Amino acid sequence: MLKSYLSLRCANSAGETLNTEVVSWVESHLGCKVCDQYGQTETGMTCCEHHALAHKCPVGSMGMALPGHTLVVLGDDMQVLPDGEQGQLAVVVSESPAFYFRGYSWNEKQAFSDDYYLTGDVVERHHDGTYWFSGRDDDIITTAGYRVGRLNLPSRAEFVVCWVINRRKFHPIPVPASYVYRSAPRGRS
């Protein structure tokens, strides 16, 4: 095993949410805890599992806001949501002295709404202050009133392309095959 050759106190991971299997593998093969980190090119690290601080951070959580950043979860109406509800992760710019991003060079994307930097990531904040990643706001579908992201699906889920009618326009979207229900058009059996 690798841990007999290594002397690691902690490992950090960023880019994809850690799952239980990865955390278990790191602990058993590397002999240390692995901490999840969250950030973007635009923001730097804003949320993480602080390995130097004594706090519990459940497996699968992005961690807590990094000191110097105030994070909130916003609904579609740009209002702060209570704990336990999914919405877009945002940085409160006026309350985040470590936040330095001021916008895109060519204004190719509007990243700000009032005092919020909008990350485009859908998360849920739990009562203990930890944040949980659900997906990008552009890769989440709503089915039967539930928001479904790629992390809610089996890793080998099959997708089919469906055509969604929206006011005289057809939009192709990938939909998990397990959510597709085929019915005959009205008037036909």
Burial 70-101 (b: 16+ CB within 10 A, else e): bbbbbeeeeeebeeeebbbbbbbbeebeebee
User: The whole model's pTM is what?
Assistant: 0.69
Q: What is the mean pLDDT of the chain?
A: 77
Could you say which residues of the chain have pLDDT below 50?
A: 155-157, 159, 161, 163, 177-184, 188-189
Residue 27: its H or E element: helix 20-30
pLDDT value at residue 69: 95
Q: Which CATH class is domain 2-179?
A: alpha beta
Q: What is the three-class DSSP state of 26?
A: helix
Specify the 3-state DSSP secondary structure of 123: strand
Residue with tokens 């080998």: 156
Closest C-alpha to 110, from 42, 47, 39, 44:
42
SS3 28: helix
pLDDT in tens, 91-121: 999 999 999 998 888 877 889 999 999 999 9
Nearest Cα neighbor of 58 from 163, 128, 143 is: 128
